[in-house]
Structure 1
Amino acid sequence: MNENLFSSFITPTMMGLPIVVLIILFPTIMFPAPNRLINNRMIALQQWLIQLISKQMMAIHNQKGQTWTLMLISLILFIGSTNLLGLLPHSFTPTTQLSMNLGMAIPLWAGAVITGFRHKTKASLAHFLPQGTPLPLIPMLIIIETISLFIQPMALAVRLTANITAGHLLIHLIGGATLVLMSISPITAFITFIILVMLTVLEFAVALIQAYVFTLLVSLYLHDNT
């Protein structure tokens, strides 16, 4: 019987109802809230990580852009923890769904663009027409810049979806090949198992890198509009 490679990307259900909402809310359990005077090591590590992310992300922003600090930190922690939890056996990764990634990308991009048109109207409109453009090229450049503006959220969502989905598919394929080769050629199976372990380690890094890249691009869009 042929195995469906995309079965792990199907939204899980319980009693006929999708439980993706519970899966999305689950990563919040990993971040405990400090509720005592002396913090433990987990909370201290969490606070250090948040301060590091805040320093890296918000250093380029002015006072108006820094009001997005809580939003961007929550975004990178959510995407990173969701990607990491999706690497566990018998789990589901919500960020493999293009609809969810678009649901994150479009409101954040729209908020940054609307902020730019509200507070820097002339500068935002100037992006559609670079200075010194020849007169015959003006209509074409305006169309190109408009398309490039509206394609930004799609690029954000597709990048995250493609990278996470490709990694999961590779792990699935190599894992299946390792199981088949165990009865045929143990030496070859051992080699593929080593490749599988290395790929899994790489996927842990990709899960964090993609969260950083997604949030960084949103931060750059915000920086251009504040």
Structure 2
Amino acid sequence: MILSFFDQFNIPSLFNISLMIPAMMLPTMLWLTTGRLIKNRYSATQSSLMFAMTKQMMLPINTSGHKWTSTFMALLLLLILINTLGLLPYTFTPTTQLSMNMALALPAWLMTILAGLRNQPTATLGHLLPEGTPSPLIPMLILIETTSLFIRPIALGVRLTANLTAGHLLIQLTSTAVVSLINTMTLTATMTFIVLILLACLEMAVALIQAYVFVLLLTLYLQENT
């Protein structure tokens, strides 16, 4: 049976039961079962990195927005674990599904909007109309800014899905080429395999960067509403 390159993005199932939830919970279970209370160099390095990322993302936000720090960092850690562990063979990456990413992006974006409407409704609504706009352009600018506002969660979900999907497809295409050429063109297959290793390293970096960018954009949206 010939499989499509896109079959790797199908949600796995067992006895017609979706395995999306176990695929999401596996990284968290691995994180929680590695002796988090034991102080060693590994845990100290992790704590230092998490503290640096937290400080970098939350520093521009007002003090009233710091209450969302734990939420953003938990989301960042979840995305990092899911994205990186999804690169292992015979695993499934839930963040290659647009529905999964939209389920993360939409409530988080809505949270920033509701926080702004609760704390400073005038300033939040004022973002829809730049100061000094000529009167004839007011309806058009309000429409454009409103559309831009509602596109934000879609852009968050599509960006994460597209980057991870493209990387996975590129790795699969390259690995398929290596397997096809290994018996006939050994030198070409070896060079392609080296490229495959470099692509895997690049995809690991993309998985980390996209998780960081996802949460960083949410902090910027929160910054506008605090």
TM-score normalised by the shorter chain: which range applies? over 0.9
User: Which residue of the partner structure matches residue 208 of structure 1?
Assistant: 208
3-state DSSP of counterpart to 2:5: coil
Write the distance in 2 (CA, Å) between the matches of 1:137 and 1:60. Answer: 32
Moved over 6 A (4+): none
Query: 1:126 offset after TM fit, Å?
Result: 1.2
Which shows bigger deviation, 25-34 or 1-10? 25-34
Count the aligned residue pairs.
Answer: 225
3-state DSSP of counterpart to 2:216: helix
User: Structure 1 counterpart of 2:155, which letter?
Assistant: A
Segments of structure 1 that go 5 or more residues without pairing to the other structure are none
User: Which residue of the partner structure matches residue 135 of structure 1?
Assistant: 135
Q: Is the 8 A contact 1:113 1:225 kept in 2?
A: yes
Deviation digits for residues 185-204 of structure 1 (CA, Å, limit 9, x no counterpart): 11111111111110000000
Query: 1:27 offset after TM fit, Å?
Result: 1.1
3-state DSSP of counterpart to 1:104: helix
User: Which residue of the partner structure matches residue 93 of structure 2?
Assistant: 93
User: Structure 2 counterpart of 1:205, which letter?
Assistant: A
Query: 1:35 offset after TM fit, Å?
Result: 6.8
Q: Is the 8 A contact 2:36 2:43 kept in 1?
A: no
Write the distance in 1 (CA, Å) between the matches of 2:155 and 2:170. Answer: 22
User: Which residue of the partner structure matches residue 64 of structure 1?
Assistant: 64
1:1-226 correspondence runs (5 A): 2-32=2-32, 39-226=39-226
3-state DSSP of counterpart to 1:29: helix
Q: Is the 8 A contact 1:94 1:100 kept in 2?
A: yes
User: Structure 1 counterpart of 2:78, which letter?
Assistant: F
Write the distance in 1 (CA, Å) between the matches of 2:174 and 2:221. Answer: 38
Deviation digits for residues 28-56 of structure 1 (CA, Å, limit 9, x no counterpart): 123247675x6233432332222122111
Note closer, same or farther for the CA distance 1:41–1:166 as it changes in structure 2 (3 Å cut).
same
The sequence identity of aligned pairs, in percent, is 49
Deviation digits for residues 114-144 of structure 1 (CA, Å, limit 9, x no counterpart): 1111111111111111111111111111100
Query: 1:2 offset after TM fit, Å?
Result: 3.8
Segments of structure 2 that go 5 or more residues without pairing to the other structure are none
